[in-house]
Structure 1
Amino acid sequence: MLYDLNIAWSPTTPASEIESTLRLAKGLGYDVVALNHTISDPSIPTQPNPITNPITTPTTSFSKFLPIILRRATLLIADPATTNYRLADFTHTYDLLALRPTSEKSFQWACSSTTEPPALISLDFTQSLGYHIHHKTAMSAIARGSRFEICYSQPLQVSGPETSRQRSNFIGNVQNLLRATKGRGIVLSSEAKNALALRGPMDVVNLLAVWGLGIEKGFEGFGDGARAVVVNEGIRRRGFRGVIDIAKPAEGGEENLKQRQKEDQGNGKKDKKQQQQGQKRKNWGVGGGAEGGAMSKRQAKKLRKEGPTAGKA
């Protein structure tokens, strides 16, 4: 399965436009997508999840041709002190939680000092970061379970006189991240605001291979790496401290269990009967041998020859 964990969403986006984007994503091969709500001020009180499932809207048709939809929030982090204690609220409200630090201090905090490791650390690579991504900082985030997100459509959706500068920033920042992580812990997403910004997985993997990401790790960023993020976040929300998960038992489980118990009881009776029969076979030849075992053919022949005087002293 292929995943695109970042399709831009806002309350003003028409449902028909979201539907067309999702249908094209399914046509390109993406089986699971996440609608992303970017929150610029995480310090405000947590509101109910505003993302509605487009499949249930009256304007949606051919819903079976749409991918599985998750709901995600991306928090813009400028001051970690006002956000750290709010992460748990957003975790329970959305399926996925990503952090987008806007400074070196917030980046280091997102990598190593959050109360709960975020699922994704997403950066705006079209902007000048103003700091260098160090190997030790990046690997500490990966060791905690976080993944770094590269959104390939960021340079495609910029406009204005700074377009060339923003695109060069994107290439340099991506190469900086790949050098720091050595291609590990990378998740590839689109951050597409419309259907025109989507690209096929093979095109994206080939492009990133030019900038230093291996082909295998590129496909992992769309597949196993993204799937691990979804599964881990699901377990964190359904289980207790990410350890105990509540699973629904299979249908007919109790009936199957009773049937196995009856079969085990029947097998136990058969084994006991076989043991009794074996004991009887041993007792048949009592007195025929030195130890009361079964009488041999030679002993039986000798007794027949001796006849009635065999037992006289």
Structure 2
Amino acid sequence: MFFDLNVPYSPDDPEVPHTLNFLAELGYTTVALSQTINGKIPPTLAPPSLPTNAPKSLQLLTRLTLTLADPAQNNRLAALSQAYDIVALRPTNEKLLLNACTNLECDVISVDLSVRLPYHFKFKMLSAAISRGVRIEICYGPGITGSGLDARRNLIGNATSLIRATRGRGIIVSSEARRALGLRAPWDLINLACVWGLSQERGKEAICEEARKVTALAKLKRTSWRGIVDVIHGGQKAKPEESAKKTKSVQKSVVENPQEPEQAENGVDNLKRKASTSSEPVVEDPDKPLSKRD
């Protein structure tokens, strides 16, 4: 199972069907359609409708990528986690990156590696995010379809330093490709990750196991209490219609089989037991003489 958790999506984009069909041909099984928001979060925000003409072999997820430029933008992350399958944060400076790694509730931290970053990645900062279950994302699309050689050079340098800082753990690789031309096959990505500094096993985990953990942990956050307790059955009472049908079925069985003892709805026999011989009154013999006690 291969995952691509960052495919930019707009309902009116005519290139979306071609991109999804090409992803299915390359062997991907799960794709997250991403909606990017810059600046202030709108008061009413809901995921867009998924395409109806997508290949049946693809499992489509909804994703929100929020570009953090102000610390005050994190006041509605809990509500967004309930509306979207995956919530990703894209910090624009080192201070916001530290806040996202240590405090903010999200599923993925995605840094734009196609630009020159004015700071260095630190192991202590990134390991805090990985220990909380948050994965660090590398998007190769802007480095391939970007303008000039600067984007490709920045992608290689930043990805190498990111892998060195995380020591190869907690990394996922996504496309962020707006056209089918910017997509690459899964095994090509594994070879590309080896060029960045990952081993072949870790490169495969970046598009398989680590990406699967992102979707699984995000689902646990939505359907359970703090990702620990999952409510399966809330102990609801039986509906009146079901209890009435059960009573009618019991009455019908009694009418059809009158010789059988009546049973209650809970299956307990309501027939009275016969009195035992020991409980019957003792008949006195008239010829027997009375004792002194009598």
TM-score where L is the length of structure 1: 0.71
Partner letter of residue 8 of structure 2? A
User: Paired residue for 1:136?
Assistant: 124
- Please state how far the C-alpha of 1:247 moved relative to its aligned partner: 4.6
**Separation in 2, partners of 1:29, 1:135:** 33
User: Paired residue for 1:52?
Assistant: 49
Partner letter of residue 3 of structure 1? F
Structure 1 contact 23–67 (Cα < 8 Å) conserved = no
- Please state how far the C-alpha of 1:166 moved relative to its aligned partner: 1.9
Structure 2 contact 63–86 (Cα < 8 Å) conserved = yes
- Please state how far the C-alpha of 1:43 moved relative to its aligned partner: 3.5
**Separation in 1, partners of 2:192, 2:85:** 29
- Please state how far the C-alpha of 1:190 moved relative to its aligned partner: 0.6
Regions of 4+ moved over 2 Å: 244-248
- Please state how far the C-alpha of 1:245 moved relative to its aligned partner: 2.2
Partner letter of residue 158 of structure 1? G
- SS of equivalent to 1:106: helix
**Matching of residue 183 in structure 1 with residue 168 in structure 2:** yes
Partner letter of residue 7 of structure 1? V
Aligned partner of 1:19 among 7, 17, 38: 17
- Please state how far the C-alpha of 1:11 moved relative to its aligned partner: 4.5
User: Paired residue for 1:221?
Assistant: 206
Aligned partner of 1:74 among 65, 71, 88: 65
- SS of equivalent to 1:20: helix
Aligned partner of 2:144 among 132, 153, 156: 156
User: Paired residue for 1:270?
Assistant: none
- Please state how far the C-alpha of 1:44 moved relative to its aligned partner: 3.1
- Please state how far the C-alpha of 1:87 moved relative to its aligned partner: 0.7
The superposition leaves residues 197-227 of structure 1 with CA deviations (integer Å, 9 ceiling, x where unpaired) of 1110111110120120111011001111000
**Separation in 1, partners of 2:140, 2:159:** 10
Aligned partner of 2:157 among 150, 172, 175: 172
The superposition leaves residues 46-86 of structure 1 with CA deviations (integer Å, 9 ceiling, x where unpaired) of 4222x21112xxxx27x43x400000000000112x11211
- Please state how far the C-alpha of 1:42 moved relative to its aligned partner: 3.8
Change (3 A) 1:181 1:87: same
> Identity of aligned pairs, percent?
43
Partner letter of residue 128 of structure 2? S
**Structure 1 unaligned residues grouped into runs of 5+:** 249-313
Number of positions where the alignment pairs a residue of Structure 1 with one of Structure 2 = 233
Partner letter of residue 145 of structure 2? Q
Change (3 A) 1:227 1:42: farther
Aligned partner of 2:99 among 109, 119, 122: 109
Partner letter of residue 151 of structure 2? Q
**Matching of residue 147 in structure 1 with residue 135 in structure 2:** yes
**Matching of residue 120 in structure 1 with residue 117 in structure 2:** no
**Separation in 2, partners of 1:88, 1:72:** 14
The superposition leaves residues 272-295 of structure 1 with CA deviations (integer Å, 9 ceiling, x where unpaired) of xxxxxxxxxxxxxxxxxxxxxxxx
**Separation in 1, partners of 2:145, 2:164:** 25
Structure 2 contact 173–206 (Cα < 8 Å) conserved = yes
- SS of equivalent to 2:109: strand
Aligned partner of 1:33 among 31, 34, 53: 31
**Separation in 2, partners of 1:11, 1:158:** 23
User: Paired residue for 1:10?
Assistant: 10
**Separation in 2, partners of 1:247, 1:201:** 36
TM-score where L is the length of structure 2: 0.76
Superposed CA RMSD: 1.5
**Structure 2 unaligned residues grouped into runs of 5+:** 234-294
- How do 1:201-220 and structure 2 match up within 5 A? 201-220=186-205
